[in-house]
Amino acid sequence: MGSNLTTRVRVAAIGTLIAGAILAAAAFAQSPPAGGDKRTPAERAIDYRQAMFTVIGGNFGPIGGMQQGRAPFNGTEALKRAQRVAALSGFLEDAFPDISKEGDTRAKPEIWADRAEFDKLVKDFNTHTAALAATLAKDSKSEEAFKTAATAVAGDCKGCHDKFRTK
């Protein structure tokens, strides 16, 4: 009697657990996890791109400050920043997927309409950021060479912003 009751309780308990697990799994499959990512793929792509420009800008900022004389020239610091910007610049070519064309972004539709021109500007940016890092790696003391190379990078930023970013 006693063992029979125990068995029945045990079966009921296991059954409840299995049913609960199945329900939980079904619920889990249907809705995102608590606190999960509710963004659309387009929103995620735009966030990714903007995060990248934030990091590029964050590292080019000190370079710009030295280039413009707002901060004293420091070759070691400039080299570190330049290497980061050069590495990040390589991410740009695929930071503008088609799905990210529309949304909360200052990227103009012309980027996708005139992709060849846009890709060329990105390529220039890759080239000039690499050249800036190489210039500093070769001689981190030459402020003059640094300024010239940094101006070329800044020119790429402006050229592309003027053309492909909303005012």
Partner 1 sequence: MSEPLTEVEPVNTGDVAPATRRVWDLPIRVFHWALVLAIVGAYATNRAGIEYFKYHLWCGYAVVVLIGFRTVWGLVGTYHARFWNFVRGPAATMRFILATLRGTERRYAGHNPLGAVMVIALLAGLLTQSITGLFANDEILNFGPLSGYVSSDRSLALTSLHRQLFYWIMGAVLLHVIAVILHRVLKKEDLVKPMFNGHKPAHSVNPHEEIASSRVVLALLIVLAIAGVLSWYVSQAPLPQADSFM
Number of residues binding to partner 1, judged by CB under 8 A = 19
Q: Which residues pair with 107 in a beta bridge?
A: 165
The answer to whether the beta carbons of residues 67 and 81 sit under 8 Å apart is: no
Smallest separation (angstroms) from partner 1 to the CB of 87: 17
Indicate whether 76 belongs to the interface with partner 1 (CB under 8 A): no
Piece of the chain touching partner 1 by CB under 8 A; list 4-12, 19-27, 44-52, 57-65: 57-65
Indicate whether 57 belongs to the interface with partner 1 (CB under 8 A): yes
| Closer residue to partner 1 (CB): 71 or 131 | 71
Q: Count CB atoms within 10 A of the CB of residue 140.
A: 18
Indicate whether 87 belongs to the interface with partner 1 (CB under 8 A): no
Number of H helices, E strands in the chain: 6, 0
Q: Which of 52, 63, 58 is nearest to 133 (CA)?
A: 63
| Closer residue to partner 1 (CB): 118 or 125 | 125
Q: Which of 124, 147, 152 is nearest to 136 (CA)?
A: 147
**Residues that bind partner 1 in the complex, under the rule CB under 8 A:** 57-62, 64-65, 67-68, 70-71, 151, 154-155, 157-158, 161, 167
